[in-house]
Amino acid sequence: MNNLVKKSNQNPWIRDFFDVENIFGSDWTGAKTSLPSVNISEDDKCFCVDVVAPGFKKEDFKINIEDDILTISAETKTESNEENNNKQYSRREYSHSSFTRSFRLPENAKDDQVSASYKDGILKLDIPKTKSPVKAKKEVQIK
């Protein structure tokens, strides 16, 4: 029964912000995927989103905002192709890693001033707060 009780101290936009099913519906991919962990915090001036995504480079990420939806995606491909004049290889090993996470932004988020940085495997986004809603459609550049 405790699972049905709503936590009164939890801000409702944060529940929506975390809830991917809110946007796409449950099991929309049809496959089990591993998504990077996300920490979301806020203070008086901004919302902070930290995405733990080691193994990627800054260039692998794409961050878009459209219709109050923040979409973070990344993709990396590597190929091991050892060449040796004396050997003929019958196998090459490939590695492909990708993810996409989407979040609904709260009404008081300044969509047009989102900033991002990537360091030590953590993508950090700062989303400033505003008193009047600001709607934007843009791609966020990572510093």
**Rounded CA Rg of the chain:** 19
Cβ(99)–Cβ(76) below 8 Å? no
Q: Which of 71, 131, 137 is nearest to 107 (CA)?
A: 131
Tens digit of each residue's pLDDT (9 = 90 or more) over 87-116: 666 776 677 889 999 999 998 999 889 999
Cβ(12)–Cβ(22) below 8 Å? no
Average pLDDT, the chain: 78
11 pLDDT above the threshold of 80: no
Tens digit of each residue's pLDDT (9 = 90 or more) over 40-71: 999 999 999 999 999 899 999 999 999 889 99
Span 74-83, average pLDDT: 72
Tell me the C-alpha distance between 140 and 84, whole Å. 43
User: φ and ψ at 94, to 5 degrees?
Assistant: -115, 150
Which sequence spans correspond to the domains of the chain?
38-79+92-143
**What does the DSSP 8-state code read for residue 2?**
G
Tell me the C-alpha distance between 73 and 142, whole Å. 12
38-79+92-143 maps to which CATH number? 2.60.40.790
Cβ(136)–Cβ(111) below 8 Å? yes
